Amino acid sequence: MFTFAPATVRFWIRLRLNSLGRGDARKFKDALDSTPTHATLFIQSMVQAGQHAVNQRYLEQARQLLQAISVANSSLRFHQNELAALARLAPGLKGRLLDKNAGLQATEKRKIDDLQNQIASNSKILELLALEAQSALDSWVSYYELLTSVYLRKRIGGKRGSVSLEADLPVFEGVSLPEIDLDFSRGKGE
């Protein structure tokens, strides 16, 4: 459903990051590992583009669910008003009219129960959608760490076999999940 980050670094991206890392090793000999460079900004933009795609997909799907919940809420209010009107008429009825009214009330109660179940189901789907979108965003953060580790391995590598294990990753400001008012989706039509 959502675009999760790749689990591994593709060959051509790895090749490009290795090249950028070797070039930056020559340019920034005295800089700290966490110093932002063009390569780290390239990695950040690539990861943030993936995170923006996740957010866009989340907003599209959440919008559809919120519209369905809104329609169900308005329909619920309509059927509650119908049930109240039928209940007001019941004391003055006798015989077949009373039986017909009781049948109509039972139909309205069933419709109300169905709509409440639909609203609850859509609200739960909306919460699960937020969890899935958050895990997709988190996968992009781990992909950022993977890409920067490939880059930093070449940047601080120096001679063969002398890779420092104490490298600091550059600071990454990830894209957060948009806030959606889930309390709106839990309305019962009151």
**Domain chopping of the chain, boundaries:** 11-24+37-158
Average pLDDT score over residue span 42-58: 92
User: Smallest Cα–Cα separation from 39: which of 55, 23, 50?
Assistant: 23
- Give the number of residues written for the chain: 190
CATH fold of 11-24+37-158, please? Helix Hairpins (1.10.287)
Q: What is the rounded CA–CA span in Å between residue 84 and residue 39?
A: 67
Say what the pLDDT of residue 62 is: 92
Q: What's the average model confidence in pLDDT over 75-103?
A: 88
**Any idea which residue has 């008012």 for tokens?**
181
Range in 52-61, 139-148, 154-163 the model is least confident about: 154-163
Torsions phi, psi of 13, nearest 5?
-70, -40
Cβ-contact 39, 31 below 8 angstroms: no
Q: 174 — alpha (psi -120 to 50), left (phi > 0) or beta?
A: beta
If we measure between CA atoms, which residue out of 177, 175, 157, 181 comes closest to residue 167? 157
Full-model pTM: 0.77
Which two three-digit tokens encode residue 97?
Answer: 């009219």
Instruction: Note the pLDDT tens digit of each residue in 12-46.
Output: 999 999 998 888 888 877 666 667 788 888 999 99
Tokens 């583009």 belong to 49
Residue 159 has pLDDT above 50, yes or no: no
φ and ψ at 166, to 5 degrees?
-105, 25
Q: Measuring CA to CA, which residue among 55, 50, 58, 27 is closest to residue 172?
A: 50
The 10s digit of each residue's pLDDT in 81-90 is 999 998 888 8
The pair of structure tokens assigned to 132 is 């899935």
